[in-house]
Chain A
Amino acid sequence: MNRSRLLLKLELQSNPEMLRVVRHALGQLAETLGFSGPECRAVVLAVDEALTNIIRHAYDGEGERPIQALFSRIEVRRDGEQRKALEIVLEDCGKRVDQAKLCGRSLEEVRPGGLGLHFIQECMDTVEFRRARGKNQLRLVKLLSLEKMEKGA
């Protein structure tokens, strides 16, 4: 069974100006948890892209709709080992996301747009989407490296 401890809860508006604020807070949090520089940047990029998708697609660019972001420290079983991880759950009340579009696009084609989901999938260990009680919920998990766990991070 997964153990979870809430570290940070943010209630924000779907305003692009807020992205910078979230990036700053999350960067600090990931660093505090012991993630390396590249890992911190990966987590920040993934969450920023996920929030961007919510603003652009779920809310069609409306700037005053609610988004909730929960950041928790969890432990998960992975490959037979108990691993510490950062779990991020983003929730919005926007329109239903077409799950067929959640598979990303081929990067062979050189064109602007459609990279956000690819970034999220590349940066995180788990990406799960679900629709429940009229809300979109995206769950992202980033595992702490085994080396960091041994040092007691």
Chain B
Amino acid sequence: MKIAERHLDKATIFDVSGDIDLATSPELRKALLRELREARMPRVVLNLQAVRYIDSSGVASLVEGLKVSRDLGARLILFGLNTTVREVLQLSKLVKIFEICENEEQAVSP
């Protein structure tokens, strides 16, 4: 898994690629929590278009990020969900709790 980071005025965008699994999800969790808790970014956006695989530990990292964002009054937004990621989120029955956008433009719009 690779995470590339971009910064806009009041948002951080993570372009995530590769596999999010037991070996790599701690890195994603750490990046999300750093941006939310330490950088106090009001909006963190995850581009998941190039994610080939995500398991329950990856979903758990997203859920934890979501809970922290809610506690801090910030927003965690997902976009670029491909079939693989969408299937796993639907299977978890958690797809409805996330803020999901079709594209980056929507995800960063005020």
Which residues of A are in contact with B by a Cβ distance under 8 Å?
16-17, 19-20, 23, 38, 41, 44-45, 48-49, 52, 55-56, 107, 110-113, 115-116, 118-119, 122-123
Contact = CB atoms under 8 A, between A and B. Distances in A.
Nearest to B94: A110
B19 A20 contact: yes
> 7 nearest interchain CB pairs?
A112-B60, A16-B23, A115-B56, A16-B22, A116-B56, A112-B63, A107-B93
* Secondary structure call for the A interface: helix
A49 B55 contact: yes
Report which residue of B57, B88, B92, B94 has the largest number of chain A beta carbons within 10 angstroms of its beta carbon: B57
Interface in B64-110: 64, 66-67, 84, 87-88, 91-94, 97
Report which residue of B22, B55, B57 has the largest number of chain A beta carbons within 10 angstroms of its beta carbon: B22
A56 B93 contact: no
Contacts of B91: 45, 118-119, 122-123
Nearest to B29: A112
B56 A38 contact: no
B84 A41 contact: yes
A36 B93 CA distance: 22
A91 to B, nearest CB: 19
Nearest to A56: B22
A107 B92 contact: yes
B56 A119 contact: yes
Assign chain B's interface to a size class. 20 to 34
Interface string B51-65: 001011101110110
A111 B21 contact: no
A125 B56 CA distance: 19
A99 to B, nearest CB: 20
Interface in B17-72: 19, 21-23, 53, 55-57, 59-61, 63-64, 66-67
B21 A52 contact: yes
Contact of B61 (A52, A112, A119): A112
B67 to A, nearest CB: 7
A17 B22 CA distance: 8
A19 B22 contact: yes
Contact of B21 (A20, A38, A107, A110): A20
B87 A52 contact: no
A16 B21 contact: yes
